Structure 1
Amino acid sequence: MPNVRTKVWNIVKDIWSLKPVLLPVLVTLLPLPMVTNSESKATRCGYTVIVMAVLWLTEALPIPVTSLVPIFMLPMLGVSTAKEVSSSYVTDTSMLFLGGLIVAVAVEEWNLHRRIALAILRLVGAQPNLLMLGLMLPTWFLSMWISNTAAAAMMIPIVGAVTSHVKSVVIEGGTENPDDLCLLATKDKDVHVEMQKGERVVLTSVSKKSDEKEKSNDVNSTPKSAQYNRSPSRNSATPDALKMHSKLSKALALSIAYAANTGGIATLTGSPPNLVFKAVIDEAFAQAGKLYDGQEWDSGVNFTSWLLFALPISFLTLILGWLWLQMFFLRCKQSCDCFRKIKSDRDKEVREIIAKEFKALGRITFAECLISILFISLAFLWIFRDPPNIKGWGDFFPKRYVSDSTPVMLIAVLLFVLPAKVPAIFCARKSDEDRYTPLLTWEKTAEKVPWGVIVLLGGGFALAQASGRSGLSKWFGDSLEFFASYNPFVMCLVVSLVVASVTEVTSNTATATLLMPILQELSIAAGMNPIYLMMAAAVACSFAFMLPVATPPSAIVFAHGYLSIPDMASAGLAMNVIAVFILTVGINTWGNLLFNFATIPVIFQEILKNQTLIGPVIEPIESMFNVSKPLV
């Protein structure tokens, strides 16, 4: 019997290994009647959506590869021209994202992010609540500007070193073993983060001796395992002490994932779903404006308006997440009493570890100073391009000529121009010294920029545009018309909860891509400002706190080895509820003040009045099961 089971299991594994071949063929052939028995553009676009949704969800093909499907499928099905589809892959929004990634590469290349993180950690000691906050704040801030994956991968070795040392000095009587500090000495360049499936991550090694290149910005990943150098204990520990240490380790590890995920909410470039939302809403306003008065209208969604709306949500989620982790893992009074001992007995030692690591970075370099200046300048240019109620520097140019991509590309180009150190020319040059070294080289940039994410965004933009212009989104909106009778507050809450649940098991970018056009049409049909539901869904796409497969930061902390899936799920469920609550309150208070959700823009009012659709006239969409009748 065991032999039979083994043989059956081997057959299943053999078949599953052919998933990249079998699944694309099956998902292409099974819904084919939708195409062969219908001339409707909406139906044919629906076929493309089904194929891509299944491939995205199952990851039979790498997610960026699936994102290339619209380039050949939409033109061949007669939904859009090849020129229209291809133009969606290089847009103003994708250039904004690319520029932000290049700036992030420069920050990582010169270790400025590590200096910021250690500087904040120097301000806190070994008290667990402050230590956790000291880890979360730099992770949160850095993930606004650099990859969430890179921010988490940089901070996890620090967590490992801190927990290892706490175990040494508190549980095991203060072992002064230098090997206990090996994790803290591990630089983020030693963290090999291999992305292989969608947006998941594998930490194959975190070793001081590792010479593998970091790939923390890539989009393809599968969580596996992580190996950390740990020295053997000199003394045995009591069960209560081990339990205390385990709780601290879990809390600190999860705090990194939560901070990385929430930090990406705060800025428009911080997370891909934010950019998917901007691209879809900009297209909706532009098309509706052309129908209304022949002009392309501005949606009003830019870096500044997003920051004013999302930063408070991000910060409140961070603080409540910090409090929740303390309550969930450190609620035991006995543990808290033991932790207080750290403050009085060993706080100085932990501070010395962090100070030693900070000192190892050396004095701040010319390159770090220059990048800091460029970084602050970029933030200034973004915020003051089109600030609310006052004139910004964008007003000095013709209307709609400059956007948020303009300053970021200016700064990105300057990174390849400005020197990393004072040029060694004339009498200042030593014989073996390079005369000029730029802050960034293209070789380093090409290696670290996650090109797959850019392709993923492009595929999402192409699919969203085709769904809107073919009428598929309108059909979905009409099918959900019963939902429009609900109170807008209830609709927002339901949408946020559904999106936060879906994004636990699939790519948040793919989720945003599939839902944004539908929510746009649903909002218009319900007589609502489309920004309302779409913005709520975009933010909720970052509320993936429960499973290690949900986001790269979650996969990284899971691979660290201190957490189990039940740990993540039990803590993350409440965290999802907390985050959705903050989002619902925020979008209905200061969000309404910023975007005036109570009033539907006049261009959409005209569409409702005339029953005019954005894009061409829609043909009836037909079912793949009964192609002779329209779907109800």
Structure 2
Amino acid sequence: MADHRPPTSRRTQAIGFWLGLGCFLLLLVFPVDPDNGPASGLAAVVSLMAIWWVSNALPLFATAILPLVLFPLLGIMSGNDVAPVYFNGTIVLFLGGFMIALSMQRWNLHKRIALGIIHAVGGGPSRIILGYMVAAAFLSMWIANTATAVMMVPIGLAMVLQVEETAGVRHSRTFTVALMLGIAYACSMGGVTTLVGTTPNLSFQRIFQIIFPEAPPIEFGTWMVLATPIGITMVAVCWFILTQVLYRPSPEVQIDRDVLERERAGLGPISFEERSVLVVFAITAVLWIFRRDLELGFGTIPGWSNLLPFPGMIDDGTVAITMAAVLFFIPTRNQPPRAASEAVAGPIRKWPRPLRRAARFATANRVMGAEVIPRLPWNIVLLFGGGF
């Protein structure tokens, strides 16, 4: 396949590749601490990875797996010690949360939630923009910021086209700019409010655990209690600046709520699968928030894990994977059975009724199936491990 990257990009990658390799070899030949071989080797590996990451000399995840090879070879850490770093509790939390998010996207639950919020908040132009921002921020608390933006922008563009038809392009310009910028900013602001909202939050949690192993861990509920007011404040301030200071919508702009109604009607009635994912999602959020004792200043809400025999054994990753696994067991009602199910339909008809029911349940399509595995961001998982 031809390489269509810009020449400057290829040049930067080539320079970064050889510069990183040169720094690596230089620090091995002239160690920063001759009396401490592992520390000198670590400095060489860090310089190599930093330069390759910045220059994108190799794919980010490919650079991230270098410690698996170089740490044992340079005597920094054994292979048995390095490997678990690439699959720890933080990564399990990330994977479990991402699987639940993928199931929401698969059944269009995220779009239904967004349209419901916009419909509830919307009114005039400024309130419509607020509705879009609130919807984007809420979804970004649980779904990747980019995925939320990709879903929200087409809904926003449908509203923009309606406004341009009624008010004209010139009068609708400020509304269009404020709406699009509001969606973009709200996605980032909403992602700040939960641990699973954006990957840097999880990175901070894990790095904090490594640097301060004796300190109380950063729990999902603790983070949310602290960060949610900050996120709400940022969204409110951003909305005010966009709609009241920089891009005040023109009086000519009239909102046709039929645009939203058509979008909502296109989704049809809520399905069994959407209800199932919504229930699992809501339970997961509650379990995350109230797993450990929640200090609110004026009092403490006891955590549910205290009721278990071994509360210290359960973390947020346990909750995420457990609830994601539940989705693998819920059969669908609106999807055709898999080919494997059809193949065994004939022999199953001859079985006793209890066995037929059990066989159909075992071979039915699930709310979340095997198709989710290749859609998981394994490159980010490896990038996490390399950074930790």
Q: Report Cα offsets for 1:475-530 as digits up to 9, x if no partner.
A: xxxxxxxxxxxxxxxxxxxxxxxxxxxxxxxxxxxxxxxxxxxxxxxxxxxxxxxx
The one-letter amino acid of 1:403's match is: D
Superposed CA deviations along residues 426-450 of structure 1, whole A, max 9, x for unmatched, are 7x99xxxx9722101112x023221
In 1, Cα distance between the equivalents of 2:140 and 2:176?
22
Match of 1:336 among 236, 250, 261: 250
User: Equivalent residues in 2 for 1:21-420 (5 A)?
Assistant: 21=14, 23-38=16-31, 39=34, 40=36, 41-125=38-122, 127-171=124-168, 242=170, 244-286=171-213, 297=214, 299-331=216-248, 336-339=250-253, 342=254, 347=255, 350-388=256-294, 389-395=300-306, 396-420=308-332
Q: Find the aligned partners of 2:66 and 2:91 in 1 and give their Cα distance.
A: 18
1:42 deviates by 2.8
**AA in 2 matched with 1:44:** G
Say whether the 8 Å CA contact 2:273–2:333 is kept in structure 1: yes
Runs of at least 5 residues in structure 1 that lack an aligned partner in the other structure = 1-12, 172-240, 287-296, 462-632
Cα deviation, 1:519-574, whole Å, max 9, x if unaligned, reads: xxxxxxxxxxxxxxxxxxxxxxxxxxxxxxxxxxxxxxxxxxxxxxxxxxxxxxxx
Give the match's secondary structure for 1:266.
Answer: coil
After TM superposition, give the deviation of residue 375 of structure 1 in Å: 0.7
| TM-score normalised by length of structure 1 | 0.53
Cα separation, partners in 2 of 1:283 and 1:31, compared to 1, 3 Å: closer
Structure 2 CA distance for aligned equivalents of residues 99 and 79 of structure 1: 31
Q: How many Å apart are 1:107 and its aligned residue?
A: 0.5
The C-alpha deviation readout for 1:219-270, integer Å capped at 9, x for no partner, is xxxxxxxxxxxxxxxxxxxxxx61x322222111111111110111111111
How many residues matched? 354
Aligned partner of 2:341 in structure 1 is none
Equivalences for residues 360-509 of structure 1 within 5 A: 360-388=266-294, 389-395=300-306, 396-421=308-333, 436-443=364-371, 445-461=372-388
Aligned mates of 2:24, 2:363 — CA distance in 1: 62
Q: 1:421 offset after TM fit, Å?
A: 2.3
Write the deviation string for residues 201-222 of structure 1: whole angstroms up to 9, x where unpaired: xxxxxxxxxxxxxxxxxxxxxx
Equivalent AA in structure 1 for residue 23 of structure 2: L
**What residue is the counterpart of 1:486 in the other structure?**
none
Work out whether residues 384 and 392 of structure 1, in 8 Å CA contact, stay in contact via their aligned partners in 2.
Answer: yes
RMSD: 2.6
Give the direction of change, closer, same or farther, for the CA distance of 1:16–1:125 in structure 2 (3 Å limit): closer
Find the aligned partners of 1:15 and 1:256 in 2 and give their Cα distance: 32
8 Å Cα contact 1:305-1:387 kept in structure 2: no
| Stretches of 4+ aligned residues off by more than 4 angstroms | 13-16, 18-22, 422-426
In structure 2, list runs of 5 or more residues that go unmatched: 1-5, 295-299, 338-348
Would the aligned equivalents of 1:248 and 1:329 in 2 still touch at CA under 8 Å?
no
8 Å contact from structure 1 (residues 35, 44) kept in 2: yes
SS in 1 for 2:364: coil
Change (3 A) 1:85 1:79: same
Q: Partner of 2:239: helix, strand, or coil?
A: helix
Distance 1:328 1:450, change over 3 A: farther
Could you tell me how far 1:325 is from its partner in structure 2?
Answer: 1.2
CA distances 1:68-87 after superposition (whole Å, capped 9, x unpaired): 12211222222222222211
1:422 Cα offset (Å): 8.5
| Letter of the structure 2 residue corresponding to residue 300 of structure 1 | P
CA distance in 1, matches of 2:266, 2:7: 50
SS of 2:328's partner is: helix
Kept in 2, the 8 Å contact 1:281–1:299? The answer is: no
In 2, distance between residues paired with 1:84 and 1:302?
A: 25
CA distance in structure 1 between the partners assigned to 2:209 and 2:288 by the alignment: 18
C-alpha distance in structure 1 between counterparts of 2:312 and 2:46, whole Å: 32
Deviation per residue, 1:96-128 (Å, 9 max, x gap): 110000000111000000001111222355622
SS for the counterpart of 2:250 is helix
Q: Percent identity?
A: 32
Cα distance, 1:120–1:300 mapped onto 2, change above 3 Å: same
In 2, Cα distance between the equivalents of 1:16 and 1:282?
36
Q: 1:271 and 1:125, CA in 2 relative to 1: closer, same or farther beyond 3 A?
A: closer
Q: Distance in 2 between matches of 1:79 and 1:261?
A: 37
Displacement after TM superposition at 1:58 (Å): 1.6
1:17 to 10, 20, 37: 10
Deviation for aligned residue 1:318:
0.9
Contact 2:136 2:152 in 1 (8 A): yes
Report if the CA contact (8 A) 1:102-1:449 is conserved.
yes
Question: 2 CA distance for matches of 1:459 and 1:30?
Answer: 19
What is the CA-CA distance between 1:21 and the residue it aligns to? 5.0
CA displacement at 1:22 relative to structure 2: 5.0
Change (3 A) 1:405 1:125: closer
Distance in 1 between residues matched to 2:55 and 2:245, nearest whole Å: 33
